Structure 1
Amino acid sequence: MIRRHFLKTLATTSAAAVTFPSIVRAQTLGLGGGVSPANRLNLGIIGAGLQGRVIMTSAMANAAARIVAVCDVDKQHRAQTRQFVEETYASETDSGTYRGCDEYGDMRELLARPDIDAVLIASPEHWHALHVIHAARAGKHIYCEKPSGASIPETRAMLDAVRASGVVCQIGSQQRSMVNYLRVIDLARGGYLGGITRVRVGLPRYMNVRPAGGAGLAASLGGYSDEPPPRSGAPEPVPPGLDYETWLGPAEPLPYCKARVHYHWRWNYAFGGGRITDWVGHHYDSAALVLRVNDRMPVAIRNATARFLDDTPLYNTASDYAFEAHYDNDAVIEVSSALREGVHVDGTEGSVFVNRSALEYTDPRLRRVQIPSHRALFRLDGARGHMDDFIACALKGATPRAPMSDAHCVTAAAHLANIAFRAGRRELRFDPVAEQLVDAPDAVRYFQRVMRAPWTLPA
């Protein structure tokens, strides 16, 4: 959609001046809506932290969506988010008032509402599987942040639930909707680089938490900063308004401390998989599309190395790491935290590098290549972004750019690499048909998370 004007700037929003991105509206909705209710999605938000607010504002920029509910275990987060939603929609009305966004602390109450068509899920990684499965069973279309799930069995259960329900599910691999990444993918798949000889992926190092947009965006969430987060933390009283028991959910019952929750859950295997799972749905996903292995799982992880910091009892994910993901069609994707962050593609007739701030060619000829629309992997239809693609697909019942089926396969590489690191293995073999480790009894205990009662995966 073509954005026409700024709806408002967030400096005038009292609830969260530094915690919401600005919104550029495609058109003014008005109370009655510039889009008929029959052609509009009513959305609920599950997880109103930093990324939840980012994707929510992206949805609010689309006139075909309306936020009607927000769910979060942090009372302050959900109150701020509801207030922002209502103030935003109120600015579009003649009366200057709007009341139409409800708050929930339990996602099951939100999912029980028959008027909600779809949900945006931005909860911590250890909750993704349960949130997606419950949403699919409730018949809600789903936009879920990456990584899709916290283990291969979890992403399998998610995929099965999505397929059984027939809902649309888009994973937040936003680079599938970014022009520079799509150009590199199309150049490689279209033969413009000649034969592909090597694909390498540079991922962030441990706790490299400086955000592209500056530290202010997440300051109130205790997230991004120029300094690394504290590496140890004594148990602290749970702050008022935070339902920490529900935040833990299926994870092991570790005591509360501020440095464990919100953004920093990523650095503990109880809740996330470190930078590898944090970015597998981005740079690695693009590399998988380059080599056409986005719909298959690796058969082996090789040359796996990892360094763990020994002075961080609070955080235990890999600090520096490298591995190769091998596929049954002889494709290999090399990953390293020592590489420049982005996707490096080498071909017999030229090489390209891409990340979110650069697109570089070894041969100026490649810059001039015009790729015919019929040879493009995805057509962006003007400036249509990742959230717009989800909303359009949910309204039409179409397949989105980043379906759960691809995420199940792509995310497997990160989970297998983490298993190899934790088991101290240089190599790990995997059967992609049975979706089981091969001859690795010492690594089996890392294959699937044990969910804490009463939560469990479906059989």
Structure 2
Amino acid sequence: MTQGLYLSRRRFLTTATTAIAAPHVISSSALGKDGVAPPSERTTIGMLGVGNRGSSSIRALSPLPEAQIVAIADPRAERRELARKNVDKTYAKRANKASYKACRVYNDFRDLLARDDIDAVWGCAPDHWHGVLYNRVLEAGKDMYGEKPLTRWIAEGFTVCDAVRRYGRVFQTGTQQRSCPQFREACELAINGYLGKIHTVRVGVPGGKVCELEPPCDPPKGFDYDLWTGPAPMIPFDNKRCEWLAMYMISHYCAGFITNWGVHHLDIAGWGCPEIFEKRFEVEGQGILPPGGMSDTWIAWRVEFHYPSGLKLSFTDKREPSFAAFGKDTPRTDLGGIEANESGCLFEGDQGWVRVDRAGIWANPESLLSVRFKPSDMRLHASPACDNDRGGYVSHSADFLRSIRTRQDPVSPVESGQAASTLGNVADIALRLGRKLTWDPTAKRFLNDDDANNMLMRPLRGPWTI
């Protein structure tokens, strides 16, 4: 890939991407009077976790008349009460009533799961909870929308996959980029050979942050810190570690952005080039950990995955200042002069390339963006198009609700979530061990490396088990 090719890109018009075929459009009044679906067509929903992601999910569900949030569980009283008020306000306005009082709140998610009037659950808890929580939801007989990454530890993810199929549940992974038209178009160009033989896929995502140490203190009133910690090691509370962004940078709770953010564009890489998910690969790389503070996950990295066919997947942080929510800006080193990838996912073939991110889609030759797909081409799952949807969140939610009705897999089934999450976690393990590893997705293990296989899971703090 040369710099000249980068300079020749043009931004693909939003109107063009939204013209890509979708099965139907859902508007706010599609299913019933005043935008409310009749009870027989409504999915009752419980929310588990209403922090940053959970609150975003509530906003994504609000315009969908076939969804009704009836319960919220969160170990922070202030958060769950605020979320309940927002839900009540939304539904009162939808029904043109003065008030709405049908949403109940809980501290403990187990009380929510005990209700038999809840059809589906949105899991928006921190990453370290995903394995235990998702298994509990599925065992309770609920369909589930589970935030990414699928789990904190690779081995946990396989138990979630098994539970989805064993209990016959519908599961949507929160990799909502699959519900954005430009990502689907890029993957269809790649998978149908319009780029020729693909030899390289490049993924770039935001890097990590340095989070300064905070002095221990008592949890605020109404915050069940023991329940928040759950299966993770119990660490003395401080005012930062449970907050966005710090909890994503502490390895007890998350592998860092190498997985938590990486899963988004790694998922697109595997959607457009299935070999990335399905075949054995060798992986090695280099990275930089924070020099101190409470964060201990990668702030910069470059990892390469090599496949038997000759395909290479290059995965880096995008080497520019990331989120600056707090703490000092992380120095963006050049890792010995190795160039970082641009944000998004780039498919390179011997006849052209296409790059896609949340801002749009680019290609060389540009004629690729005008391709008319043939009837014989493979067309990927298309989520419903929704009014006023930014980032695919509403469409992704609507796709899950449709799958609940049809009992068919949604656009991001559990196995895709596990495959994409595994790539990020494998990269993390290879960097921490500092050597080349071989991952076998069929065996679900590293080959000939006990140290690496011992990092597939960690002991869970009691009484939590899978």
TM-score by length of structure 1 reads 0.85
Match of 2:440 in 1: 431
Query: Once the 2 structures are TM-superposed, how far is the Cα of residue 353 of structure 1 from its aligned partner?
Result: 1.3
1:265 corresponds to: 247
Superposition pairs for residues 316-331 of structure 1, below 5 Å? 316-327=296-307, 330-331=310-311
Tell me the equivalent position of 1:22: none
Aligned equivalents of 1:237, 1:192: Cα separation in 2? 58
Paired position in structure 2 for 1:386: 396
* 1:244 aligned onto 2:254: no
| SS of residue in 2 equivalent to 1:413 | helix
Residue aligning to 1:156:
158
In structure 2, the partner of 1:75 is: 77
Name the SS of the counterpart of 1:131 in structure 2: helix
Give the deviation of 1:349 after TM superposition: 1.6
1:125 to 118, 124, 127: 127
- Secondary structure in structure 2 of the residue aligned to 1:120: strand
Distance in 2 (alpha carbons) for counterparts of 1:73 and 1:327: 44
d(CA) in 2 for partners of 1:361, 1:331: 20
Change (3 A) 1:97 1:35: same
What is the distance in 1 between the residues matched to 2:151 and 2:410? 18
The answer to whether the aligner puts 1:377 opposite 2:380 as a matched pair is: yes
Deviations 1:334-361 (A, max 9, x none): 1011211111111122111111113111
2:301 is the alignment partner of 1:291? no
Q: Which residue of 1 aligns with 2:407?
A: 397
2:289 is aligned with 1:311: no
**How much does 1:293 deviate?**
3.2
Query: Quick check: 407-416 or 126-135, which moved more?
Result: 407-416
**Which deviates the most, 428-437 or 81-90?**
428-437
Aligned-partner Cα distance in 1 for 2:276–2:64: 28
Please name the residue that 1:234 is paired with.
215
User: Compared with structure 1, are the counterparts of its residues 80 and 156 closer, same or farther at alpha carbon in structure 2 (3 Å cutoff)?
Assistant: same
Look up the SS of the partner of 1:418 in the other structure.
helix
Q: In the TM superposition, what is the alpha-carbon distance from 1:93 to its structure 2 partner?
A: 3.1
Deviation, structure 1 residue 165: 0.6
**1:323 partner SS:** strand
Structure 1 residue 26, shift from structure 2 partner: 4.4
- Give distance in 2, aligned partners of 1:377 and 1:126: 31
Provide the secondary structure at the position in 2 that maps to 1:301. Answer: strand
Contact 2:383–2:396, Cα closer than 8 Å, also in 1: no
Which aligned pairs between 1:121-200 and structure 2 lie closer than 5 A? 121-200=123-202
Mapped contact 2:31–2:66 kept (Cα < 8 A): no
**How far off is 1:95 after superposition?**
3.5
1:454, 1:415 → 2: CA distance? 25
- Following TM superposition, by how much is the alpha carbon of 1:162 offset from its aligned partner in structure 2, in angstroms? 1.0
> What secondary structure, in the 3-state scheme, does the structure 2 residue paired with 1:344 have?
strand
Once the two structures are superposed, residues 246-287 of structure 1 have per-residue CA deviations (whole angstroms, 9 ceiling, x without a partner) of 000000111111211132211011000111111233111101
Change (3 A) 1:82 1:294: farther
Per the TM alignment, residue 333 of structure 1 is displaced from its structure 2 partner at its CA by 1.4
Tell me the residue number matched to 2:325: none
Which runs of no fewer than 5 residues in structure 2 stay unpaired?
A: 1-23, 318-339, 387-393
Partners of 2:202 and 2:315 within 8 A in 1: yes
Q: C-alpha distance in 2, partners of 1:297/1:410? A: 13
Cα shift readout 1:109-138 (whole Å, capped 9, x = no counterpart): 101100000000110000011111111011
Helix, strand or coil for the counterpart of 1:258?
A: coil
Residue 317 (structure 1) shift:
0.2
Counterpart residue identity of residue 410, structure 1: A
CA contact under 8 A between 2:383 and 2:398: conserved in structure 1?
no
Following superposition, the deviation at residue 73 of structure 1 comes to 0.6
Which residue is 1:21 aligned to? none
Q: 1:273 to 1:370 in 2, by over 3 A?
A: same
CA distance in 1, matches of 2:44, 2:32: 13
2:4 corresponds to: none
Q: TM-score, normalised by structure 2?
A: 0.84
Change (3 A) 1:430 1:197: closer
Partner Cα separation in structure 2 for residue 393 and residue 244 of structure 1: 35
Kindly indicate whether structure 1 or structure 2 has the higher relative contact order, using CA contacts under 8 Å at least 6 residues apart.
2
Q: Structure 1 residues 345, 80: CA separation in 2 closer, same or farther (over 3 Å shift)?
A: same
Distance in 1 (CA, whole Å) between partners of 2:69 and 2:441 is 39
Identity of aligned residues (%): 30
8 Å contact from structure 2 (residues 26, 385) kept in 1: no
CA RMSD between the two structures: 2.0
Match of 1:104 in 2: 106
